[in-house]
């Protein structure tokens, strides 16, 4: 199963939260057929964020229907340690926890790896990017939120781009994912800052031509990568 890795190639992961959840498996397949590299699955517990979505039982149901698809679990949950094994057993490929949701991120990373998943860490808009520096060598990717996590359809926060630029300058090969309000009209900001993994929800899922939308955003990011010194 192919996994996102390496910061020198763009990968697009549609967020399926805004899709028709009654047709979730077919919607996920539609995204893959449209050229998605992976799927971004938002898990919310109603505590870390003021919304509630699905958990590992849904992932377990999706896995046999999408056997070769990389599941990017965005765990917007308090005490993320408690769900690690359940998600691994359900077939998740990676586990993105929020720095703000745990008192011991290093232990959380270790438990994720022990469960056989890739370990990713994300930060909310109000969290300083510096907190990620001690963790970069321990994780496979970092996530910079460009909206407040919890709801789709929010306005893209361009003032988060300096966080991405800081990480890109310091870690040239690091996978940097951006999530929140990313669309054809905001993708250039992400590309210029150095993001390589792009999460896009409604802009892709609700597009009249999702394949065209995905291709456009990937091309913009890859053009920016090519301009960056190796």
Active site amino acids: 42, 179
Angle at 211 between CA 210 and CA 215, to 5 degrees: 115
Give the DSSP per-residue string, 103-163.
S-HHHHHHHHHHTT-EEEEEE-TTS-GGGGGGGGGG-SEEEEESS-TT-SSPPP-GGGHHH
DSSP code, position 185? T
Distance CA 137, CA 121 (A): 11
Please, are residues 140 and 5 in contact by the beta-carbon 8 Å criterion? yes
Backbone φ and ψ for 149, nearest 5 degrees, come out as -65, 145
Please, are residues 174 and 9 in contact by the beta-carbon 8 Å criterion? no
């Amino acid at each position: 199963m192919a996994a996102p890795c390496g910061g020198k190639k763009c990968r697009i992961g549609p967020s399926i939260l805004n899709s028709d959840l009654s047709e979730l498996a077919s919607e996920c397949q539609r995204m893959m057929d449209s050229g998605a590299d992976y799927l971004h699955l938002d898990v919310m517990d109603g505590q870390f964020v003021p919304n509630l979505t699905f958990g590992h039982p849904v992932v377990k149901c999706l896995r046999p229907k999408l056997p070769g698809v990389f599941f990017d679990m965005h765990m917007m949950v308090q005490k993320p340690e408690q769900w690690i094994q359940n998600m691994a057993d359900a077939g998740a490929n990676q586990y993105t926890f929020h720095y703000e949701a745990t008192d011991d991120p290093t232990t959380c990373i270790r438990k994720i790896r022990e469960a056989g998943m890739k370990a990713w860490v994300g930060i909310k808009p109000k969290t300083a990017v510096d907190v990620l520096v001690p963790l970069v060598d321990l994780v496979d990717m970092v996530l910079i939120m460009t909206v407040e996590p919890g709801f789709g359809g929010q306005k893209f926060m361009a003032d988060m781009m300096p966080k991405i630029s800081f990480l890109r300058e310091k870690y040239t090969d690091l996978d940097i994912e951006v999530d929140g309000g990313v669309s054809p009209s905001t993708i250039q900001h992400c590309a210029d800052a150095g993001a390589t993994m792009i999460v896009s929800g409604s802009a892709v899922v609700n597009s009249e031509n999702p394949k065209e939308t995905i291709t456009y955003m990937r091309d913009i990011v890859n053009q920016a990568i090519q301009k960056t010194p190796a």
